[in-house]
Amino acid sequence: MYALYSAVLGVGLLAYLPALLARRRRAGYRGGLAERLGRLGDGLPPEPRCWIHAVSVGESAAAVPLVEGIRRRWPELGILVSTITPTGARIVAERLAGAAVHRYFPIDLPGPVRRALDTARPSFFIAIETELWPNFLRALARRRIPAMIANGRISDRSFRRYRWVRWLMRRVLADISIFAMQTDEDARRIIALGALPSRVVVTGNLKSDLVPAAAGDDPGTWRARLRLGADARLWIAGSTHRGEEAVVLDAFLRARTRCSDLALLLAPRHPERTGEVEALIRERGLAAARRSRLPADGAPGTVIILDTVGELAELYTLAEIVFVGGSLVPVGGHNVLEPAMRGKPVLVGPHTSNFREGAELLQRSGGGLVVGDAAELERALSRLLEDRDLGRRMGEAARHAFAGRQGAVSATLDLVGHHLWPRTRCPAS
């Protein structure tokens, strides 16, 4: 079974290598090739060490409170954090500097996995949000290194995909000591895929325990940095995808006829699409400015494109209204927790399967609105701009709805202490 998986993965990598290399060059994946081949190099944290794997930006953000909690509870542990994307690596470098060492995760083939584990020698392994790599997990089990899924979730799309290979999933999941899942539904799904019920615990979302940071030392400094006027009212459209920016821009143009001091910050989910988004803005006769190179003098009506990584959550603090993307198009939505924790009214589209529980909580609490299409987005935006008290009430409702859901970090650390450290025997291979 594992030989077949490795063969398929290897052939797939070879077949798509030219396209993969081109895409990686565009997305900034040039570095880390040696690490992806399992050569982690020198400079790893001291032993004993734990290895935490976070794919990209969202998982890296979720890892932050977990890493901080491990350092407080077990200061003797060195912490290695791996990612797959360079944007995830940047989050680790910025938010966990001095607390953890970063490396890129090895390709899930026997050679790279063996080399990486020979060098890293972790005492235990934690994967954030259900990262399942069969060869890596099998190698851990053979070395008697316990593994954990933390902040686990199974989206609708992933569940459908995994069910097709349930015969493989059952064997892969047997190599994991404990599953700390976000919701009851996530727990039901991982059990349906083959996890033993006795190993599955619902702990909540690690991101609920993140303490919202102010946007810099002084929000006024950030407003000046973004060239926002003293009276500007900021609308942020975060984590947007192709097909959403045009809708947001059209709503902005119409809203600005009634609210001339409205400003817009667009944050595409994939920064490599910045040029494409810039073209959409200019097609509508608007000025566009990238966050990475804002002009000295901002012009009214300039749309700011957030082309940097790791700043969106902080910038939500400045917003009066937030739209969270990936939800007007069938992507499944993105994290509504970050703006809600900062007391902002949140607008989302109908496609929120990736964050269903959070989106439903916002609706029930009155902290968010679901907009079905472009017309509903425009109406909701206009309503909030006209009734600022409504926006403040919604923001407070959003904040309170999520404030009562903290405790995931403590529950996860308790599971680490019981199942992973001090080192225990992992499930039989």
Q: Which residues are catalytic?
A: 59
| H or E stretch at 92 | helix 86-95
Dig out the tokens for 2 from the structure: 């594992």
Place of tokens 């500097």: 97
221: left (phi over 0), alpha (psi -120 to 50) or beta: alpha
% helix, strand, coil for the chain, step of 5: 50, 15, 35
56 with 71: CB under 8 angstroms?
A: no
C-alpha to C-alpha distance for 140 and 175, rounded to whole angstroms: 8
DSSP 243: T
What sign does the CA torsion over 319, 320, 326, 329 have?
Answer: negative
Report the distance separating Cα 240 and Cα 307, nearest Å.
Answer: 12
* Alpha-carbon span 24 to 42, nearest angstrom: 25
Work out the end-to-end distance of the chain between its first and last CA atoms, rounded to an integer number of angstroms. 14
Q: Which residue carries 């439903």 as its tokens? A: 360
Structure-token match 């509870």, residue found: 73
- For 29, residues 6+ apart whose C-beta sits below 8 A from its C-beta are 23, 85, 86
CA distance 58 to 54: 8
Task: Assign 100 to helix, strand or coil.
Answer: coil
Q: Which residues lie closer than 8 Å to 269 by C-beta, 6 or more apart?
A: 239, 240, 241, 325, 326, 334
* Contact predicate 334/327, CB 8 Å: yes
3-state DSSP of 322-346 = EEECCCCCCCCCCCCHHHHHCCCCE
Nearest in space to 38 (alpha carbons), one of 146, 118, 102? 118
- Give CA–CA dist 412/340, Å, rounded: 23
> Are 63 and 5 a contacting pair, CB within 8 Å?
no
Phi, psi of 122, deg, nearest 5: -75, 150
Phi, psi of 262 (to 5 degrees): -75, 130
